[in-house]
């Protein structure tokens, strides 16, 4: 903060008149004694005030909230009868929910035009204080605002409205002094929502927009947004690079089909994980996609997860469920024999494809398919091995994201139990009457919660297993110096977990890795090992995934690199080869053979098109390198290579091959040629 942002404000004149001249143009409000005030207000006594500028975090929120009012004003002017509900600020803009007839995105232009027009009139935005009675009468035509007044202004109390011309809104503010501050606005999209999120209540139209202090930053934001749309993995991977296809007439919605190009990337990712798993003691297994319903009943999936499962019955009457998770399969392998305490932990892993009937509105692209493959792993361990194993998994996670994506700033979330709602979890209950302990998930019970042994209602949840597990997770995170946040109530029904969210190049967070402790599946399946004293000891389970799913990870890959994958991961085409004309087909073929003999994925194109056209066409597929050969190359035994930065360099063929192989072997993030 520079000094000119702080000044002494005196009573008698409003803040606007007292703001230091050099920052006046950027000011939208002032902060005094910890509170933010409109510039049109005057201090009640002499105070140290700090200017809130429109480019500060708080300032831009004020600007955007004011823009939301501007939007509401424009809409109510254009659509008589429209009733504004609420217009909060979002992370990068604002929206306003308005009760009105549905509009399409084309109508946004008209509304935006009106907003600009109102902004150019520079109408003063004035704060007024009114009694509850007055407020109710001002907004007598708007039942949504009446609800808010009744809910927020006590009987006999007062609150504020902000008025700009004909438009008045019930609002605490603060706001910019006049509509002239709001010239750099843009409406972005229209969606719908229900009042109070209740489907039985009124359907509101939600209009999204954003506002900036100046045209330049607005333009920059819109440019970034454009870039985001261009980076959409559905566009890059599905249309341009031809990696996968969705065909809802043939396969169910949300079931991706991979082309040879897409399958090659998947296989490369699978191979990477195979190596990492082996290095860390994880043994690969393979399990069926379909299990009898008995296993799903035992695992508890039928109780909780059935609506999300593909279940079916054959004519013989037996019921089956397509797996939504891999754990029962891995458990079935683990329980085939006894393990000694010396053999623990047993760590089984699999690129396991699961099928989940996700709600129709949730399905979309590779980030939310209904069929996806988890790089799944289940560790069966002794209680004393938890922390060490979690640490090992966390290391695998950080390494994977660093090596493949070059990303290091992941968000770790520790999801813990909500102690206020024990019924949502599988918990031990202790009975006060008979002192027995039983594992129950209260929400799955039909009747009253009661002791299964003596029937007493005097039972109490015992959180100790959860607390212990949670503490192990905390310690693991802390021992690696990983910053994390705790989220009560976000835990799985069977245990606490660590989820990893990764920010992509566009600043959006996606959930990928997960490490879930599970004390209860071992109880359901009675999983034990033989302890050092020869007694059966209870196994602890960890469910973990590093990528999360191959689908979502591939989406992140594509968006993160805008399709320009590192060479090792560029199996669609690592090297595209074309001769300058068909006279050099032979040499091009020779180069192609030499590369592919070395395991490099090449695509030779001897079609009789111009080089310019071929390059234009192939760029969509994003080959790592484009090799063009003609007389110069043939006579010197070399290749001319065009890299992703569109730089051209010539290399001797053998040098090119050895350096390329090196780049692939090292899994370099950057191109070296």
Stretch that binds RNA, among 214-222, 354-362, 482-490, 526-534 (CB under 7 A): 354-362
The reply to whether 648 sits near RNA by the rule CB under 7 A is yes
Q: Shortest distance, CB of residue 107 to RNA, whole angstroms?
A: 9
Stretch that binds RNA, among 36-44, 200-208, 513-521, 541-549 (CB under 7 A): 200-208
Among 37, 170, 625, 656, binds RNA (CB under 7 A): 170
Residue 220 host element (H or E): helix 215-231
CA distances from 73 to 87, 167, 631 (A): 12, 6, 69
Task: Say which residues have a Cβ less than 8 Å from residue 316's Cβ, sequence separation at least 6.
Answer: none
User: Nearer Cβ to RNA, position 198 or 316?
Assistant: 198
3-state secondary structure 368-380: ECCEEEEEEEEEE
Contacts of the segment 146-151: beta carbons below 8 A, 24+ positions apart: 148/86
Residue 159 to residue 173: CA distance in whole angstroms: 11
What does the block give as tokens for 575?
Answer: 């090297």
Shortest CA distance to 554 belongs to which of 380, 301, 372? 372
Stretch that binds RNA, among 202-210, 266-274, 404-412, 660-668 (CB under 7 A): 202-210
Among 224, 610, 668, 672, binds RNA (CB under 7 A): 610
Among 43, 59, 87, 329, binds RNA (CB under 7 A): 87
At 515 the three-state DSSP class reads strand
User: Nearer Cβ to RNA, position 275 or 609?
Assistant: 609
193 conformational bin, left if phi > 0, alpha if psi -120 to 50, beta if neither = beta
At 604 the three-state DSSP class reads strand
User: Nearer Cβ to RNA, position 193 or 298?
Assistant: 193
User: Nearer Cβ to RNA, position 387 or 424?
Assistant: 424
Shortest CA distance to 380 belongs to which of 330, 346, 349? 346
Q: Concatenate the DSSP letters of all residues of 246-299 into one string.
A: --TTTS-TT--EE-HHHHHHHHHHHHHHHHHHHHTTPEE----SEEEHHHHHHH
Among 640, 661, 667, 669, binds RNA (CB under 7 A): 640
Stretch that binds RNA, among 333-341, 355-363, 397-405, 463-471 (CB under 7 A): 355-363
The reply to whether 612 sits near RNA by the rule CB under 7 A is yes
Q: Shortest distance, CB of residue 161 to RNA, whole angstroms?
A: 8
Among 429, 642, 653, 657, binds RNA (CB under 7 A): 642
Q: One symbol per residue from 541 to 580: x for binding RNA (CB under 7 A), - otherwise; what is it? A: ---------------------------------------x
Stretch that binds RNA, among 123-131, 218-226, 389-397, 623-631 (CB under 7 A): 623-631
Stretch that binds RNA, among 46-54, 85-93, 341-349, 422-430 (CB under 7 A): 85-93
What does the block give as tokens for 641?
Answer: 């290579």
Task: Say which residues have a Cβ less than 8 Å from residue 269's Cβ, sequence separation at least 6.
Answer: 404, 547, 550, 553, 554, 569
Stretch that binds RNA, among 9-17, 177-185, 195-203, 217-225 (CB under 7 A): 195-203
Among 351, 405, 626, 673, binds RNA (CB under 7 A): 626
The reply to whether 171 sits near RNA by the rule CB under 7 A is yes
Residue 62 to residue 29: CA distance in whole angstroms: 8
Q: Shortest distance, CB of residue 90 to RNA, whole angstroms?
A: 7
Contact 27, 52 (CB under 8 A): yes
Residue 39 to residue 66: CA distance in whole angstroms: 13
- Residue 176 is classified by DSSP as -
* Positions in 127-156 near RNA (CB under 7 A): 145, 148-149, 152-153
- Residue 410 is classified by DSSP as E
Task: Say which residues have a Cβ less than 8 Å from residue 456's Cβ, sequence separation at least 6.
Answer: 431, 432, 433, 434, 450
Residue 488 to residue 99: CA distance in whole angstroms: 35
Q: Sign of the C-alpha dihedral, residues 635, 638, 643, 649?
A: negative
* Positions in 230-269 near RNA (CB under 7 A): 234, 239, 246, 248, 253-254
The reply to whether 384 sits near RNA by the rule CB under 7 A is no
Q: One symbol per residue from 364 to 383: x for binding RNA (CB under 7 A), - otherwise; what is it? A: xx------------------
Q: One symbol per residue from 387 to 426: x for binding RNA (CB under 7 A), - otherwise; what is it? A: ----------------------------------------
Q: Shortest distance, CB of residue 214 to RNA, whole angstroms?
A: 25
Cβ of 328: how many Cβ atoms within 10 Å?
23
**Residue recorded with tokens 């290095």:** 279
Residue 411 host element (H or E): strand 410-416
Residue 660 to residue 673: CA distance in whole angstroms: 8
The reply to whether 219 sits near RNA by the rule CB under 7 A is no
The reply to whether 191 sits near RNA by the rule CB under 7 A is yes
Stretch that binds RNA, among 431-439, 461-469, 640-648, 662-670 (CB under 7 A): 640-648
Q: Shortest distance, CB of residue 484 to RNA, whole angstroms?
A: 21
* Positions in 465-504 near RNA (CB under 7 A): none
The reply to whether 307 sits near RNA by the rule CB under 7 A is no
Among 190, 269, 414, 517, binds RNA (CB under 7 A): 190
Contact 98, 116 (CB under 8 A): no
The reply to whether 105 sits near RNA by the rule CB under 7 A is yes
Q: One symbol per residue from 28 to 67: x for binding RNA (CB under 7 A), - otherwise; what is it? A: ----------------------------------------
Among 359, 597, 645, 665, binds RNA (CB under 7 A): 359
User: Nearer Cβ to RNA, position 459 or 629?
Assistant: 629
Q: Shortest distance, CB of residue 509 to RNA, whole angstroms?
A: 13
Contact 538, 522 (CB under 8 A): yes
Could you give the count of Cα atoms lying within 13 Å of 5 in the half-sphere of its Cβ?
Answer: 17
Residue 489 to residue 419: CA distance in whole angstroms: 8
The reply to whether 647 sits near RNA by the rule CB under 7 A is no
Contact 492, 419 (CB under 8 A): no
Q: Shortest distance, CB of residue 43 to RNA, whole angstroms?
A: 23
Please name the residue ranges forming H helices in 423-537: 464-479, 521-524
Shortest CA distance to 31 belongs to which of 68, 1, 58, 65? 58
Stretch that binds RNA, among 17-25, 84-92, 390-398, 553-561 (CB under 7 A): 84-92
* Contact residues: RNA, CB under 7 A: 86-88, 102-105, 145, 148-149, 152-153, 159, 169-172, 189-199, 203, 205-206, 234, 239, 246, 248, 253-254, 359-365, 580-583, 608-613, 615-617, 619, 626, 628-633, 640, 642, 646, 648
């Amino acid at each position: 903060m520079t000094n000119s942002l702080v000044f002494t404000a005196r009573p008698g004149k409003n803040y606007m008149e007292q703001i230091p001249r050099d920052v006046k143009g950027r000011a939208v409000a002032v902060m005094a004694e910890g509170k933010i005030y409109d510039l049109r207000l005057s201090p009640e006594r002499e105070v140290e005030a700090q200017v809130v500028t429109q480019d500060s975090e708080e300032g831009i929120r004020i600007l955007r909230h004011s823009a939301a009012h501007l939007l509401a004003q424009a809409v109510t002017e254009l659509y008589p009868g429209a009733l504004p509900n609420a217009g909060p600020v979002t992370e990068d803009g604002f929206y306003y929910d308005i009760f009105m007839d549905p509009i399409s995105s084309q109508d946004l232009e008209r509304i935006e035009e009106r907003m600009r027009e109102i902004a150019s009139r520079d109408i003063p935005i004035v704060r007024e204080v009114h009694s509850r009675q007055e407020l109710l009468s001002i907004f007598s035509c708007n039942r949504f605002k009446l609800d808010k007044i009744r809910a927020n202004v006590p009987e006999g109390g007062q609150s504020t409205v902000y008025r700009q011309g004909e438009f008045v809104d019930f609002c605490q503010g603060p706001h910019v002094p006049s509509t002239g501050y709001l010239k750099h606005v843009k409406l972005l999209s229209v969606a719908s929502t229900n009042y109070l999120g209740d489907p039985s209540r009124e359907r509101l139209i939600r209009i999204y927009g954003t506002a900036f202090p100046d045209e330049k930053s607005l333009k920059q934001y819109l440019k970034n947004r454009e870039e985001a749309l261009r980076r959409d993995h559905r566009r890059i991977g599905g249309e341009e690079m031809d990696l996968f296809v969705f065909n809802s007439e043939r396969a169910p919605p949300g079931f991706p089909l991979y082309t040879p190009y897409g399958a090659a990337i998947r296989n490369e990712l699978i191979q990477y994980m195979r190596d990492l798993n082996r290095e860390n003691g994880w043994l690969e297994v393979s399990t069926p996609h379909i299990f009898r319903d008995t296993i799903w009943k035992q695992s508890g999936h039928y109780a909780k997860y059935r609506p999300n499962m593909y279940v079916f019955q054959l004519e013989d009457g037996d019921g089956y469920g397509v797996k939504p998770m891999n754990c029962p399969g891995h458990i079935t392998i683990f329980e085939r024999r006894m393990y000694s305490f010396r053999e623990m932990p047993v760590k089984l892993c699999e690129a396991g494809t699961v099928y989940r009937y996700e709600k129709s509105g949730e399905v979309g692209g590779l980030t939310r398919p209904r069929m996806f493959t988890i790089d799944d792993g289940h560790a069966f361990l002794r209680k004393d091995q938890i922390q060490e194993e979690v640490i090992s998994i966390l290391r695998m996670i950080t390494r994977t994201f660093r090596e493949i994506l070059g990303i290091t700033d992941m968000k770790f979330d520790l999801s813990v139990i909500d102690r206020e709602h024990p019924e949502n979890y599988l918990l031990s209950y202790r009975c006060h009457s008979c002192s027995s302990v039983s594992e129950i998930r209260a929400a799955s019970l039909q009747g009253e919660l009661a002791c299964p042994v003596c029937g007493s209602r005097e039972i109490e949840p015992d959180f100790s297993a959860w607390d212990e597990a949670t503490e192990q997770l905390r310690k693991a995170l802390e021992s690696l110096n990983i910053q994390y946040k705790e989220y009560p109530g976000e835990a799985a029904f069977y245990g606490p977990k660590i989820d990893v969210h990764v920010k992509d190049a566009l600043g959006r967070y996606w959930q990928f890795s997960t490490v879930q402790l599970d004390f209860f599946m071992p109880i359901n399946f009675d999983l034990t090992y033989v302890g050092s004293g020869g007694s059966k000891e209870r196994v602890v389970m960890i469910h973990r995934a590093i990528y999360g799913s191959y689908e979502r990870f591939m989406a992140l890959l594509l968006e993160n690199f805008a399709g320009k994958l590192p060479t090792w991961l560029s199996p669609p085409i690592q090297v595209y080869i074309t001769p300058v004309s068909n006279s050099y087909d032979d040499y091009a073929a020779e180069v192609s053979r030499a590369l592919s003999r070395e395991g490099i994925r090449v695509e030779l194109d001897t079609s009789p098109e111009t080089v310019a056209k071929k390059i234009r066409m192939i760029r969509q597929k994003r080959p790592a390198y484009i090799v063009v050969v003609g007389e110069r190359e043939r006579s010197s035994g070399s290749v001319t290579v065009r890299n992703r930065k569109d730089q051209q360099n010539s290399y001797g063929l053998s040098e090119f091959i050895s350096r390329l192989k090196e780049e692939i072997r090292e899994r370099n993030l950057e191109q070296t040629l």
